[in-house]
Structure 1
């Protein structure tokens, strides 16, 4: 028994899945393979997105495997770092945009719908009550999303993928519109979202290694 819950050696337990749940294991493998194959997005781009989304799911196994895959596809450490900073900006943006619900919570006459696009008009309230913090957030978001080793278009595609991982409707709306302005196609966005789907499934899949380890103790 190991005192470390995360050991690379635990991944060997996943070999048992073909016997424990063969049909599901085969279907997951086919799903993952289909999502990560070359399409409107290259394999390299998909693996960069996978590394980004793995930082949303916070699965160390997924970060490890997809970082290695991305490197094998030619991704640089600078590109991967910029992609993960997009994640940090989207995560921060989710908290910022959801602050608009504070106004509704304090308003007894607020409409029943919790999510309306018009909520974003109330972002000025956060800026008013915490101006320095909001200024810092805005500067960080701008820096994270501007073109660098990765293009502004690809960063917005990552943004859409990540927003589906964080399940922030405001972020999905804003970054889909931004991606469209940067020239992203429907096919590219669809493929990016399916990478997110596979990574969310993959986080649960990979952590079955821990379940098997614990069951055997």
Structure 2
């Protein structure tokens, strides 16, 4: 029995999928190839987005693979670090914006609709109840999404991709509007979302190696 679940050699087990699920493997590989073609976003941009999404999926195989692919496509380490911080900020933002549901739960007169845009008007409650932490979050979010090695526009495109990965409707709404205001096109946003889709699928795909390993132990 292998004592370490996460070793790079695990990926060698994936070769068995050619016999275990050949049709599904081909379809996944075709999907992945099409998503990462040059389009409204370059391959480099798509791989930077992919690295940001791996921070959400927390798949070590995907982190390793897409970091190397991003480097090969011309991404600098500073760009990948900034992308990772965008992901961290959106994860933090999802938690912060969902605090509005705590406010609703304690209010007997709250509406039945859980995800109304108007919920965000109650975000100020968190600022009043935990003012220092909330100010810290605001400063962090601003720092993570301002222009640096990556443009503010591209960071907002990353933010939309990450928001779709975290499935936070508030984050999707807010960052889609910010991205569009900074000049992002519908095509760019659509391609970024498809990168998220491929990475979400990729995390499950990569972990099939653990099924094979456990089954064969």
1:216 lines up with 2:211 in the alignment:
no
| Alignment correspondent of 1:22 | 22
* Residue ranges of structure 1 left out of the alignment (5+ in a row): none
- Where do 1:35-50 residues align within 5 Å? 35-50=35-50
Q: Deviations over 1:43-88 (max 9, x none)?
A: 0000000000011000000000000000000000000000000000
Shift of 1:171: 0.3
How many residues are treated as equivalent by the alignment? Answer: 217
Would you identify which runs of 4 or more consecutive aligned residues in structure 1 move more than 3 Å? none
- Where do 1:93-108 residues align within 5 Å? 93-108=93-108
Q: Which whole-Å CA distance do the structure 2 matches of 1:182 and 1:14 have between them?
A: 41
Alignment TM-score, normalising by the size of structure 1: 0.99
Q: Which whole-Å CA distance do the structure 1 matches of 2:128 and 2:192 have between them?
A: 35
Alpha-carbon RMSD across the aligned residues, in angstroms, is: 0.5
Q: Deviations over 1:89-120 (max 9, x none)?
A: 00000000000111110111211110000011
| Alignment correspondent of 2:167 | 167
* Residue ranges of structure 2 left out of the alignment (5+ in a row): none
- Where do 1:1-217 residues align within 5 Å? 1-217=1-217
Shift of 1:213: 0.9
